[in-house]
Structure 1
């Protein structure tokens, strides 16, 4: 996973991460922030994107287990 900025907490859920990511993208697209703020937001957005991608891959793996007709104990990696 991408290193999390030291002052930014991990999102509570996939949905929270996605909502924050959308807000960051809108803020960056507005071009109304200083360069340092843009860089900080980019780092946070990269972390959130990786967080969401990891969660989606875990769910995809679980669905594959279910589709295989086998109910196995599953744990995220």
Structure 2
């Protein structure tokens, strides 16, 4: 599981919303299976929290763009 780094040269790009959601679903299924050792369970929980933050951020950005709809045109949005 790659983590993003504060060093831009070593930073790995965040996964797309779809990829983050698919990974989150796989983690949840593995965690629900009850066969994961405790240390791996904790790592999976942390990664799941990261993935949820990525998904929420992407959804918030899309919601902001949808709110900018005016007269049937999507206005440019300068958010991060």
TM-score by length of 2: 0.77
In proportion to residue count, which structure has more helix? 1
Describe the shift of the 1:10–1:37 C-alpha distance in structure 2 as closer, same or farther (beyond 3 A): farther
Distance in 1 (alpha carbons) for counterparts of 2:19 and 2:58: 12
Name the SS for the 2:20 alignment partner.
helix
Structure 2 stretches of 5 or more lacking a match?
Answer: 4-11
Q: How far apart are residue 55 of structure 1 and its match?
A: 0.2
Count of matched residue positions in the alignment of Structure 1 and Structure 2: 71
TM-score by length of 1: 0.79
Distance in 2 (alpha carbons) for counterparts of 1:10 and 1:21: 17
Q: Is the 8 A contact 2:31 2:44 kept in 1?
A: yes
**Among candidates 49, 54, 57, match of residue 54 of structure 1:** 57
* Bigger RCO (CA 8 Å, 6+ sep): 1
Aligned position for 1:20? 23
Structure 1 stretches of 5 or more lacking a match?
Answer: none
Describe the shift of the 1:19–1:62 C-alpha distance in structure 2 as closer, same or farther (beyond 3 A): same
